[in-house]
Amino acid sequence: MQSETKNAFIFAIILTLLTLLLVSFPILNYLSVSLRLSQVNQEVQLRSYAKEIESTIQSILPLQKTFLFPRSIIFKSALLDANNHIVFSLIEEPIPSFNDEFFKNNTSLFYKHPLAPNALHVKFLIVQKEISHSQVIFDILVIIGVVLVGMLLFSYLLLKLLLKPYIETSTRMNLFFTDVMHELKTPLGIMQLNIEGLVQKYKDKRLSRTLAALSTLSTLYDDLEYLIKNKTITYTTELLDFSTFLEDRIAYFEALSFSKEISIAADIEPDQYVCINRIELQRIIDNNLTNAIKYSPPQTIIHVSLKEEHQHLCFHVQDQGVGIKEIGKIFERHYRGDIYKGGFGIGLSIVKSICDKYGIVVEVKSEEQKGSEFNYWFEKEVEEKISPEEL
């Protein structure tokens, strides 16, 4: 469920960004028009303020001795004579020389207003205002924000609605497979225990073959269970005695190898440890042993070894089977080297995913009709010994 929600959110973000890209052209056009309108509006403000000052100057009486020049927080102004010389100025920056009504530099907008004859004997009034597009920028940001938030919510809700049937079906399928796997595990275990007892008592080849078939079925069950649970649970690692674990798994497959008259020759160095999840290590071992037995002819030997080499542990499985035609494809899902041998082709794909997870290096060698060799290089771990003094 969390995965589907995350995917819907990612798709919503992508769709929102694409929408923003599409509307960016009209937004840029709107920005250009807005900036021009903003400048026109500021020009109107400069004209209006200039007329206010002109009106104040024209109101000076002939015998008036003092005159308080108007001041503003927004506008700065200056008076020029007929030769464009400054008579009085409140403008802090240098006043540019220009003949048109308006002049704009990087920071300010200037307006030159001609004055009628007046008591101050000045010819021109210069009004300056710092250029400000803050309102335009604010409006653009609001528009972009509304588009982004609106499109993100719309896309997310739409995708959630479209994914709802898939999520419900996926949930039902997961529950179904979980229930089925749970129901299969108990009868498989009971059958295997009972047949093992019968094999030990009667030594019948037919019972041995049945037990071997159950071992194969149990391995397939474990593969399917791992595939189902892999994305829903976290497999925690632990320090495992690889040597003992491998010996136990070889003993488990003795019935299967015996039914095919195949021998397993093991050369396992003792006390070799790795840090890995127990279930995932079992998947690596079981799939390699199962494949080796499945594709080997009767009366052949499978060599299994575990040795320390170059500060790594090498798990080695070599058979005398049919060999592999396409080595590059054996780790692909549903690939089978021989369709007549059965199986679903999921075992080695699981092995590859586990090796990628732990950084285990895989080496495969094969020759048709002569056999295959699999080498897995694990990081070697050292068991921490507890001294008597620490007890």
CATH of the domain at 357: 3.30.565.10
pLDDT recorded at residue 78: 93
Any domain includes 29: yes
Closest CA to 260 of 292, 298, 287, 295: 298
Q: Domain boundary at 93, 111, 135, which?
A: 135
Residue 176 structure tokens = 């179904």
Any domain includes 249: yes
Any domain includes 181: no
Instruction: Check residue 297 and report its DSSP letter.
Output: P
**What is the spatial distance between Cα 17 and Cα 67, in angstroms, rounded to a whole number?**
60
What is the residue type of 370? Answer: K
Q: Domain boundary at 82, 113, 135, which?
A: 135
Give the orientation angle of helix 205-230 with respect to helix 278-294, to 10 degrees: 140
Any domain includes 182: no
Any domain includes 250: yes
* Dihedral angle over CA of 251, 252, 256, 261, nearest 10: 0
**What is the spatial distance between Cα 295 and Cα 267, in angstroms, rounded to a whole number?**
21
| Local structure of 86: helix, strand or coil | strand
Long-range contacts of 18-25 (CB under 8 A, 24+ apart): 19/147, 19/151, 19/155, 20/144, 20/147, 20/148, 20/151, 23/147
Output the DSSP codes for 222-282: HHHHHHHHHTTS----EEEEHHHHHHHHHHHTHHHHHHTT-EEEEEE-SS-EEEE-HHHHH
Any domain includes 198: no
Would you say how long the chain is, in residues?
391
Distances (CA, A) of 140 to 32, 130, 143, 144: 11, 21, 5, 6
Strand partners, 129: 75, 109
Closest CA to 11 of 175, 143, 166: 166
Residues 129 and 259 in one domain: no
Q: Domain boundary at 135, 168, 189, which?
A: 135
CB 112 within 8 A of CB 124: yes
Mean pLDDT, the chain cut into blocks of 10 residues (391 residues total): 63 75 76 82 91 91 83 92 90 88 89 90 91 78 80 76 74 70 69 76 77 76 75 82 94 83 93 92 91 89 92 93 82 55 64 92 89 92 54 43
Residues 126 and 238 in one domain: no
Residues 122 and 239 in one domain: no
Tell me the residue range of the domain where 95 lies.
Answer: 2-60+68-135
How many domains does the structure of the chain reveal? 2
Residues 247 and 124 in one domain: no
Residues 120 and 244 in one domain: no
Long-range contacts of 360-366 (CB under 8 A, 24+ apart): 360/284, 362/331, 364/324, 364/327, 364/330, 366/323, 366/324, 366/327
**What is the spatial distance between Cα 122 and Cα 52, in angstroms, rounded to a whole number?**
16
Residues 238 and 379 in one domain: yes
Residues 238 and 125 in one domain: no
pLDDT recorded at residue 385: 46
**What is the spatial distance between Cα 163 and Cα 165, in angstroms, rounded to a whole number?**
6
Any domain includes 171: no
Residues 242 and 375 in one domain: yes
**What is the spatial distance between Cα 179 and Cα 185, in angstroms, rounded to a whole number?**
10
Q: How far apart are the first and last CA of the chain?
A: 47
Angle among Cα 289, 290, 291 to the nearest 5 degrees reads 95
Any domain includes 293: yes
